[in-house]
Structure formats: structure tokens, C-alpha cells
Chain A
Amino acid sequence: MARQMTGAKMVVQALKDHGVDTIFGYPGGAVLPIYDEIFQQNDIRHILVRHEQAAVHMAEGYARSTGKPGCVLVTSGPGATNAVTGLTDALMDSIPLVVFSGQVPTFMIGTDGFQEADTVGITRPCTKHNWLVKESEKLAETIHQAFHVATSGRPGPVLIDIPKDVQFATGTYSEPKAARVDHYQPKVKGDLDAITKLVELIETAERPIFYTGGGVINSGTAASQLMCELVDATGFPITSTLMGLGAYPASGKNWLGMLGMHGLYEANLAMHGCDLMINLGARFDDRITGRVADFSPKSTKVHVDIDASSINKIVPVDLPIVGDVGHVLEDALKIWKSRGRKVNKEGLAKWWAKIEGWKKVNCLAYTNSEKTIKPQYALQRLEALTKGRDRYITTEVGQHQMWAAQFLGFDAPNRWMTSGGLGTMGYGFPASIGVQIAHPDALVINVAGEASWLMNMQEMGTATQFRTPVKQFILNNERLGMVRQWQQLLHGERYSHSWSESLPDFVKLAESFGWKGIRCEDPAELDDAIMEMLNYDGPVLFDCLVEKHENCFPMIPSGKPHNEMLLAADAEAFKSGATLV
């Protein structure tokens, strides 16, 4: 049924028709007509942020914890340019977002008008697709297409730039189902011949491994379940990238832990020594492969990905399967079962024996202290005291992020939100608010570094205003810890600008926004302090003063192969010589 309405009203109507309940945004001249419509309705909740970058990260947190697209509304010019980091972050991590930006009226475009920016030009390389809508007649159709593009195939952020006169003008609103989307229909079914070949490889491999990534989570909870079924039924070991944590439970018996630069010894050595690598929805990122020429040299590699351009981009694979991980796994399981559920038992037993040997290295071991809180210890306590709770974790970027990935266990997908591809400091705090908005009763914790956290600290006001009881667990080493670590290991201990100088009093800062502030520096008091944070009904800023010079191990210096991984004990002996990337 076609209806006449203004462009501004169409935006709100389309959001409702797509089942959107929340939009994160910040007003300005070029979006006032849309804000006027938001004012006059109650179906869509608007979360007023304090900076547009944070609006996008909140939408990312919302999207990643729900599997639904996140929505954002910003004004023209500075509103749109502030959103760019968030868009790039979402593009790198394949997070579905629909972002609306205001634009100067069509007749002013190109005149350097007040708050004019070439938003579609600026955001073209950091969105999956974007549109400048110059006629209100095309607006509804474009919004419907935008939701389709953001959520189909490999998900990603899209942006719709709407000039102010288009928001005022009246046009015809068309329903979502009338929108033309046939031109963008990524292939979800994998080639059956290729899947049969995969099953043949599964049946005979002696040293197999599943290497899984964010694609499994993006494919939906069914994909994670199918994957767990296949992993458990075959008895193969499984490792995952930073992005894929939780798709296979950390408590599962085949779990080797995360792989990559700061991944577990057993996971990286198993990747290096395997004869069959089954990559499900991961993309051979340089943080995973180390030196590509020496990456898993003896394995037959299978790569399942919905994005054909991810296949053979970095590592040439033997068996590419373009399709949705969930669909491919369903077919693979069916074929494998119908052929008698065969695996190479003898080979597998030997392979596991080898892996058990690597596990004995106990690569996450660290020297604990009674005087200072070790960051690893703080996370172990956080893990122990929150186990079994309905828990969501976000992180900032740095050492604390890697420790969180190593020491916290995730037993379900969509519970772990971290900036992987872009490594955006300032992501975690707003993301935690987005998660909390989507799950008001859940326990949402942002594991933060003090430096990253300051990058979007203005969002304290947002958390107070919208009563999101987010817990900010800052591992405060008064250092840009990850930078300091590289400088120590690779730059002759010249600590150029890696101190966090002039830090605020976090407790007072918390109180000034009506939050609870907790400071803890004594390991003996840590458990009580964490419990105080967990039991407090409201946002908490937890300043956990930790050891300042702790390094994060294991570590594969960039440009080195997996089998040249540094453990805590080797670090002393390590002589620089790695390339810095």
C-alpha cells in the first residue's frame, strides 16, 4: 500500500517496518526534520550519545550482541565525519549497520555550504555501500535496499545521505517487500562437489584442525551449533580468531584456545603442524598468519567464506568453498553422516597426544604477586566471579584486550565484542552501552585499558542518562601498554610517548557523573572489590591498578612464523630483528 508522507517521516516509518527498536544518534541542523518525527512517536527509542563515533560503536555493540543491524543517525558535515572511524571499524569486522546522515539541501550541494561535506565520497571506502538520495520518491526504496545490503552476504555498514529538502518533501512510501533487491543476492549454498571433497578430507586427515572466525558468528547461532556438532562428532581440535570466540564453547573438550599473534602455543603449533586446515569464516589476517611464506607449510587448506574475495587473497588454498558457513556445514554434516561418519581414528589419537604435549607448556603461565595486581590475575578473578552469569564482554584495544581473550572463556556466540580488524581504541566503552541497551538485565563488562578508555570517556553522560549499568573494568597500568611492550622488545627500550600522563582520579570522575567509582590496588582486596562492582545496580568505573610493566605472552613478533613464538620465559633472550608491522 503506497502512502504519501515526508521524507523525514519515511525514515521513521522504514525503521519501524524493519523492526528497529533503537537508534543511536546526535542531532544537528541537517537532520532536524527527522528529529522532529522521532519526537512525535514512541516506537523507536533514540539514544542521545555525546560523540558520533560513539554512536556507531554503540550500534556495533547492539548489532554484535543481538545479530540484528544497528542503526545510527547523525547530522551533515562534522556529524558524518565523526562517524567515519566507527564505519571503518564495522566494515573491517563485518558488522551490519544502517547509518543515516543529514546533508545540505540538494540545491546547495557543491557550494561549500555550511556543514557540507562530501559524505558519500568520504564514506565510500569505509561502507559496504552508500547512497545519496536526491528525491523523496526514491527514499523508502533506498532505505529498504540499505537494510538488505547491510545484512545479506558478508554483513557490513551502509550509509544513506539525505539532503534536508528531501526530508521535508512529500513522496510515496513503499513497503519493504516492494523494494527491488534481486540485484544483490550473494550465494549462500556451497558447491556440493566441493563439500563432498571436504568430507573426503575429513575422513582421512591425520592431523586436522578447524580454524574458525567471525564469519561463523555472523552466520547466526545455527551455524555455531552445526559447527559444534561437526567438531564434537569428528573429534577434531578447534581454534578460533579473536573475532570468532564463543562460537565453540571455551569449556568444550576440543577447544585449543585463540590462535594468532597472542594466541595460545598449542593453537599456533597445531596450525603450523596440521595436515588439514578447515577455515570456517576466517580470513587469514596478518595477525593470524605471521610470515605468510611459512604459514602452515604442510597442510591442505579448505576455506569456507561467503565473500569470494577473501579466498586466495593472502594464503592460496586447495579447496575454496564460497557460501554461507551455516549452509555449508549443514551439507557437510549430512554428507559426512551418510558416508558413515568416518575419521582417521589412529591418526587423530596421535595428533591429540602431540597437542596434549604442547598444552603442557602452559603458555599462559605468569608470575603472580602478593604486592601488585597482575592483569592476568585480575582477569582470572573476574572470570571466576562472573562464571555462570548472563555475561557480555566488550574490550578496548591493547594488552588488556589480548589478556581478556586469553583468560576469559566464552561458551556462546555474541557474548564477546572487540575491535578486531581495525583495532580501535575507544571502541569498548560505547560498545558496552550498546550491548546493555539491547540486554537491559544482563551483566555487561568492558575490559579496558586506561588510555583507550579515555578516548570515548564522554559517554559517561550517555550511560547515566539512559541508566545503563555498564561495568568499566580498567586494567590501569598507566601505560600505553601494548606500545610499551613493542618498544621494550623491538625498539631498544626507548619508551617514546607510551606513558599515560596526567590521568584523572577515576573515582572522582565516576562520582561527578553519578556513577560508582572503585579503586583497587591490593590483590588481597580484589575479590571483594569485584563483587562490589557486580552487586552495584548502576554504572561502575573500576580503576584496577595493575603491574605497569607486565608483557603479554605468548607473542609471535610480526613477520615471524608460528613456530617462532615467544613465551614469557624466552622474552629475556629475545633479540630484536622482527619486522614491525
Chain B
Amino acid sequence: MAALNIKKGSTSHSAYDLRDFHSEVERSHTLAVLVDNEAGVLARVIGLFSGRGYNIDSLTVAEVDHKGHRSRITIVTRGTVAVIDQIKAQLGRIVPVHQVIDLTTESTPVERELALFKVSGTGDKRVEALRLADIFRANVVDSTLESFVFEITGTPEKIDAFAELMRPLGLCDVARTGVAALPRGV
């Protein structure tokens, strides 16, 4: 029946939502969740993900506004359009959540992660580790005659690449902060 045919091609302002909810394609999304910094708020967010079976690839949380008691939780998650929409709606329902920002739909966000790498070795391997660290602009923050601790900041991909290179050179320990992200521009 023609009268009920809805025009395809909606915008975010149109009443009809015509994004492909049936799409099975999963995509990574970075969500920023602004919350009241109250006891249990992180447990609520994490409990939502585990209770409803959503993925968490990375999670960081810290107070960003001391006076206003606001914290920012940055979550990297994966899912189809429908699942990501559900995650956002579910997060928005949590009482101490003020805002849920999907940094991935607006544009690709600025994402940075900090990591510490302990690499132990001597001789050529040690020299090569130092040379690669220089290329990646990693800093040496601790050294002994047999080891270095490198500090590196960058996108998660850059840190992954650095880890790959360090592995054969004696990588023995890694600590990563998880992603901090902001949208580009104003």
C-alpha cells in the first residue's frame, strides 16, 4: 500500500530512522560517558555490559571535573548498528549518567593511549630496541644494564605495532591505560 511507503534516506533530523538495523556488520565505537562521580557508578556501567552481553575492548575512567564531581568513562566497544544503539540507550538510562557521546559516528575521534613496555636484553637486541623506540618516539623512563622501561603514547594501533616489534627483542611486561578520546574540532 503506497500511502505507507516511507521515503528512504533519512537524516538525523527526520522522524524516520532508516539506518540499516538489520546489518550484521560489526563496527568498533568509542563512547564517552559522562557520569556523576559517585560510589558504584563504574560497577553500574560494567554490570550493564556484562549483564546484557556487550563487549568491552577498552575502558578508562577518571574524574575530569573535581568541583562538579564528574567523571568521564571512555569505552571502546564493538557491535552492529542495532547493538551500538541499544548500548547507548541502555547507558543513557542509568540514573547518574549525564551524557553518552558516540565519538565514532560524529567523525573519527582523536584517540590516545599511554603504555609502558619493559624490554630486557643485552647486546644487539638492546641497541635495536633503543633504535626502534626512538623511531616510535618512546621515552626511556627506567633503565638497568639489562632492561629498559619505555613510555609510549599514541593510537592503540601504534602501540600494538610497537609491541609487535618489541616482542622478539625481549619484551617481558606491558601496562596500557586504555583509550582516552575526544571529538575533533569544536
| B66 touches A (CB below 8 Å) | no
Cβ contacts under 8 Å, B15 to chain A = 191, 193-194, 196-197, 319
Q: Find A300's partner among B6, B85, B96 (CB 8 Å cutoff).
A: B6
Shortest distance in angstroms between A215's beta carbon and chain B's nearest beta carbon? 15
A575 contacts partner chain B, Cβ-Cβ < 8 Å: no
The reply to whether the CB of B4 lies closer than 8 angstroms to some CB of chain A is yes
**Complex Cα distance A308/B17, Å?**
13
Q: Smallest Cβ distance from A150 to chain B, in angstroms?
A: 11
Per a CB cutoff under 8 Å, which of A124, A130, A318, A344 touches B6?
A318
Shortest distance between the CB of A274 and any CB in chain B (Å): 11
A312 touches B82 (CB 8 A): yes
A-chain residues with CB within 8 Å of residue B36 when the two chains form the complex: 183
The answer to whether B51 and A309 touch across the interface, beta carbons within 8 angstroms, is: no
A121 within 8 A of B: yes
B109 at the interface (CB under 8 A from A): no
Cβ < 8 Å to B, chain A residues 501-544: none
A residues within 8 A CB of B185? none
Q: Is A252 an interface position by the 8 A CB rule? A: no
Q: Are B86 and A312 in contact (CB under 8 A)?
A: yes
**Are B86 and A121 in touch, CB under 8 angstroms?**
no
Q: How far is the CA of A312 from the CA of B17 in the complex (A)?
A: 10
- CB proximity to B under 8 Å, residues A284-335: 300, 307-309, 311-313, 316, 318-320
What's the minimum C-beta distance from B25 to chain A, rounded to whole angstroms?
A: 15
Complex CA–CA separation, A193 to B17 (angstroms): 13
Contact of B40 among A124, A275, A313, A344 (CB under 8 A): A124
Give complex CA distance A307, B86 in Å.
11
How many Å from the CB of A134 to the closest CB on chain B?
8
Question: Nearest Cβ in chain B — how far from A302, in angstroms?
Answer: 10
CB atoms of B40 and A311 under 8 A apart: no
Please determine whether A313 and B4 come into contact, CB atoms closer than 8 angstroms.
Answer: no
The answer on a CB contact under 8 Å between A275 and B86 is no
A276 on interface, CB distance cutoff 8 Å: yes
Number of A-B contacts (CB under 8 A): 69
Query: How far apart are B177's CB and chain A's nearest CB, in angstroms?
Result: 26
A309 close to B93 (CB less than 8 A): yes
Cross-chain contact A125 with B4 (CB below 8 angstroms): no
B1 engages A319 (CB within 8 Å) = no
Say if the beta carbon of A391 comes within 8 Å of chain B: no
User: Which of A128, A191, A312 interacts with B85 by CB under 8 Å?
Assistant: A312
Q: Is A44 an interface residue (CB 8 A)?
A: no
A128 touches B95 (CB 8 A): yes
**For the complex, is A55 an interface residue (Cβ under 8 Å from B)?**
no
* Nearest-neighbor residue (CB-CB) of B95 within chain A: A129
In the docked arrangement, what's the CA distance between A130 and B95, Å?
10
Number of A residues, CB within 8 Å of B? 34
Q: Which residue of A lies closest to B92 (CB)?
A: A308
**A residues in contact with B39, CB < 8 Å:** 132
Given A183-B36, A193-B15, A275-B1, residue A316 in contact with residue B90 (CB < 8 A): no
User: A120 in the interface, Cβ–Cβ < 8 Å?
Assistant: yes
Interface membership of chain B positions 1-31, coded 1 if the CB is closer than 8 angstroms to chain A and 0 otherwise:
1011010000000111100011000000000
**CA gap between A190 and B96 in the complex, in Å:** 23
Q: Which residue of A lies closest to B91 (CB)?
A: A309
Q: B21 to A149, Cβ gap below 8 A?
A: no
A13 contacts B by Cβ under 8 Å: no
**Roughly how many angstroms separate A125 CA and B14 CA in the complex, as a whole number?**
35
**Stretch touching chain B among A199-207, A255-263, A377-385:** A199-207
Q: Would A316 and B21 count as touching, CB distance under 8 A?
A: yes
Quick one: closest B residue to A153, CB to CB? Answer: B93
| CB-based contact A125/B47 at 8 Å | yes
The reply to whether B98 and A300 contact each other, CB–CB distance below 8 Å, is no
**A200: nearest residue on chain B (CB-CB)?**
B3
Give CA–CA (A32, B167) in the complex, Å: 62
Nearest-neighbour CB distance to chain B for A185, whole angstroms, equals: 11
A558 to B95, CA, bound (A): 34
Which residues of B are found within 8 Å of A149, using beta-carbon distances? 95
Q: Which of B36-90 contact A (CB under 8 A)?
A: 36, 39-40, 43-44, 47, 51, 82, 85-86, 89-90
Smallest CB–CB gap between B53 and chain A, Å?
13
The reply to whether B92 and A300 contact each other, CB–CB distance below 8 Å, is no
Chain A residues within an 8 Å CB radius of B14: 193
Contacting residues, chain B, for A308 (C-beta < 8 A): 89, 92-93
Q: Inside 8 A of B95's CB, which chain A residues have their CB?
A: 128-129, 149, 183-184
Closest A residue to B98 using CB positions: A183
Contact A204 B4 (CB under 8 A): yes
What is the distance, in angstroms, from B130's C-beta to the closest C-beta of chain A? Answer: 47
Docked Cα-Cα span, A212 to B8, in Å, equals 27
Of A125, A132, A204, A318, the contact of B16 (CB 8 Å cutoff): A318
* B residues lining the A interface (CB < 8 Å): 1, 3-4, 6, 14-17, 21-22, 36, 39-40, 43-44, 47, 51, 82, 85-86, 89-90, 92-96, 98
Given A183-B96, A309-B86, 20 other A-B residues pairs in contact with their CB atoms under 8 A: A124-B44, A128-B95, A129-B95, A129-B96, A183-B36, A183-B98, A194-B15, A205-B3, A205-B4, A276-B4, A307-B93, A308-B92, A308-B93, A309-B90, A312-B85, A318-B6, A318-B16, A318-B17, A319-B15, A344-B3
Return the 9 tightest CB-CB contacts between A and B, nearest first: A204-B3, A309-B89, A316-B21, A194-B15, A129-B95, A308-B89, A197-B15, A193-B15, A300-B4
A-B contact pairs, 22 of them (CB 8 A): A124-B43, A124-B47, A132-B40, A183-B36, A184-B95, A193-B14, A193-B15, A194-B15, A196-B15, A197-B15, A201-B4, A204-B4, A206-B1, A300-B4, A300-B6, A308-B89, A309-B90, A313-B89, A318-B17, A319-B15, A319-B16, A320-B17
